[in-house]
Copies of this chain bind each other. A is one copy, B any other.
Amino acid sequence: MRIEIPREVERLGAVRFYGLQKVLELDSGLKGDVTPEPGTGIQQLPYEALYETGKQMAIVIPVRNERLRLIEGVLAGIPHQCLTIMVSNSPREPIDRFSMEKEALENFFQFVNKKALIVHQKDPGLAESFRKVNYTSMLNDKGQVRDGKAEGMVIGTLLASMAGKKYVGFVDGDNYFPGAVEEYVREYATGFNISQSSYAMVRVAWHSKPKIVASKLLFRKWGRTSANTNNLLNQLISHYTGFETEIIKTGNAGEHALTIDLALQLDYSTGYSVEPYHIINLLEKYGGIGKSHLQELKGQSIEVYQIESRNPHLHETGDKDHIKEMSYIAMQAIYHSPICPDELKKDIFNKMVRQKLLSNDRKPPKPHIIKPLCTIDLANLRDYLNSTLFARSQKMGFPTLSECLLN
């Protein structure tokens, strides 16, 4: 991959937000093709380097009712050297969608001669293990694992760390273009290759997102939701730096990856706020604002890379409510952050009222926050997961981790 070196950077405390990097070549060859190019502002990541990083990476696909046809394409796009982890929250009745997913995965991975993990979010073994280590922010009032993509991401991160991986990346299961999935994974590896820190995050900005407008495809650059979320996050940063900025281009980036070291430190906000909340949480903890967690970093900085994919993003289209909800919950996450300045709070509130998301006399709801994995007894949790998930829970009809560990 040949890619721009980021020209801009915003520094807040230990956090570095790097400016958007454009991709010039998807495949820039092998090590022998690397030539010193001083002053061009471009660097080349040879295949071998991305491959080695990929070997240490787990790719998590959070799934809920996606069409199997699409999931199979996504699997084909994940490079062979990465571990694939599927965390499903698909219904098991009246049709057992999860068995179908499991079957498709087993079939695929048998032919590509590789291991993969699949687990159901509602597996009682999971909930049981979480209860034992008092990881209650992952549980609902019935004692089950909560619904939601963020919860699936936390489970995926946990499994990635149990599998001994250094990086965890997320891709959606409804992407129409396997080649785009492959590109995202390559971009994750590129970011981790460039990074100097063991606390790094890579976020993908879509080149464009095709929409059908008047029976033609329009390649939109920024959806309104993304523009709004990015704008608010940039205002938040500007407040503390004193300089207006447009550095954040990936506020809603579903395609992102983290080092496991960083992933274990972060709080997760549920629903569609998970992606913008990563930025907020980084600022809260490591931005040098308020209560500092800098000692956790052992002197390292946190590097956030933003890479613009070359492929457009073409996935199954959500409905309009979904878009509205996405924008609303992102605003809630910023609004309720302890570092959100009063002025921005007021702006966000007015916006919510204007958009008829909230009546004038109410307070915006607060997104549920999942505690960082580092705050729980991980060693014990891993033991519990190993024993409970490996023990059959036939009564519930859920397959167990041992069944899910393909191969």
Interface residues of A (CB under 8 A from B): 2, 23-30, 33, 35, 37, 40, 42, 47-48, 51, 73, 76-81, 108, 111-113, 176-180, 182-183, 210, 212, 215-217, 219, 310-312, 314, 317
Q: List 19 A-B contacts (CB under 8 A).
A: A24-B111, A25-B78, A25-B79, A25-B80, A25-B112, A26-B76, A27-B80, A28-B80, A29-B51, A29-B81, A30-B48, A30-B51, A30-B81, A42-B111, A47-B51, A177-B179, A179-B179, A179-B182, A212-B212
Interchain CA distance A342-B25 in the complex, whole Å: 51
Which residues of the partner chain B approach A312 to less than 8 Å between Cβ atoms?
176-177
Nearest chain B residue, comparing its CB with the CB of A50? B27
Among A29, A42, A179, A182, residue most surrounded by chain B Cβ atoms (within 10 Å): A179
Shortest C-beta distance, A181 to chain B (Å), equals 9
Shortest C-beta distance, A70 to chain B (Å), equals 10
Check A26–B179 contact: CB distance below 8 A.
yes
Interchain CA distance A210-B42 in the complex, whole Å: 34
Q: Which residue of B23, B51, B182 is within 8 Å of A76 (Cβ)?
A: B23
Contacts A40-B113, A76-B310, A215-B215 given; 20 further ones with Cβ under 8 A?
A23-B76, A25-B76, A26-B79, A26-B179, A27-B79, A27-B80, A28-B80, A29-B79, A30-B81, A37-B113, A42-B112, A73-B310, A176-B219, A176-B312, A178-B310, A178-B311, A179-B183, A179-B310, A210-B314, A216-B317
Interchain CA distance A73-B207 in the complex, whole Å: 10
Check A27–B182 contact: CB distance below 8 A.
yes
Shortest C-beta distance, A56 to chain B (Å), equals 14
Check A216–B212 contact: CB distance below 8 A.
yes
Interchain CA distance A112-B311 in the complex, whole Å: 18
Interchain CA distance A216-B40 in the complex, whole Å: 43
Interchain CA distance A311-B177 in the complex, whole Å: 5
Among A2, A27, A42, A77, residue most surrounded by chain B Cβ atoms (within 10 Å): A27
Which residues of the partner chain B approach A30 to less than 8 Å between Cβ atoms?
48, 51, 81
Check A76–B215 contact: CB distance below 8 A.
no
Which residues of the partner chain B approach A314 to less than 8 Å between Cβ atoms?
210, 217, 314
Q: Which residue of B26, B80, B177, B311 is within 8 Å of A29 (Cβ)?
A: B80
Which residues of the partner chain B approach A79 to less than 8 Å between Cβ atoms?
25-27, 29
Nearest chain B residue, comparing its CB with the CB of A179? B179
Interchain CA distance A24-B113 in the complex, whole Å: 11
Nearest chain B residue, comparing its CB with the CB of A22? B76
Shortest C-beta distance, A32 to chain B (Å), equals 10
Shortest C-beta distance, A4 to chain B (Å), equals 9
